[in-house]
Amino acid sequence: MSVFYAGAGTERWNGDEVLRDANRILAQRIRQATSFLHSKVKKNINVPVITGIGKRSGKRVVLRRSKPGEFPRRDTGELHRNVKMTTRRVGKNSHFGVVSVPNTVFYARILEKWPPMDRSFFERTAYENRMKIRNIIARPLWGKKYIPTVTITVSD
């Protein structure tokens, strides 16, 4: 990429400044998109289970859990607490953001991938919000000259 600034009969190379600004802007947008997805995932799994008092035991009893096709409901809150986000710079000109649940929360993968459960929360949230995420990142940097490419990937 070569960008020159011309004025008053002199030319000055400012391509490095342009690249630095582009990287800074894209890093901000990646953080914003990652934060957006992180908050959406946490919001979707924050609906509590419905509880009551058992007739015989007098203890807390779960009356309504999530059904197949719904987002998982919050019982202990462990899944909700463990949804994490990170953003990183890779190389000189690439940035990425990750929303994840650590492997210690074993049932997250079961909820997400096991067909009988059908309570996908990561893939579904990313899919439902993919255009918003793309619009956050892929706005033109300067006019309509440079539009960054966006790849949204969900992996286990």
pLDDT tens-digit series, residues 131-155: 998 888 887 776 665 666 666 666 6
Q: Are 45 and 121 in contact (CB under 8 A)?
A: yes
Q: Per-residue confidence at 128, pLDDT binned at 50, 70, 90?
A: very high
* Two structure tokens written together for 84: 């994490």
49 DSSP 8-state letter = P
Q: What is the domain partition of the chain in residue ranges?
A: 14-137
Q: Per-residue confidence at 36, pLDDT binned at 50, 70, 90?
A: very high
| pLDDT over 50 at 9, yes or no | no
CA dihedral sign of residues 33, 38, 41, 42: negative
Q: What is the pLDDT of residue 4?
A: 39
- Per DSSP, the residues of 135-155 read HHH-S-SSTTS----------
Q: Are 27 and 87 in contact (CB under 8 A)?
A: yes
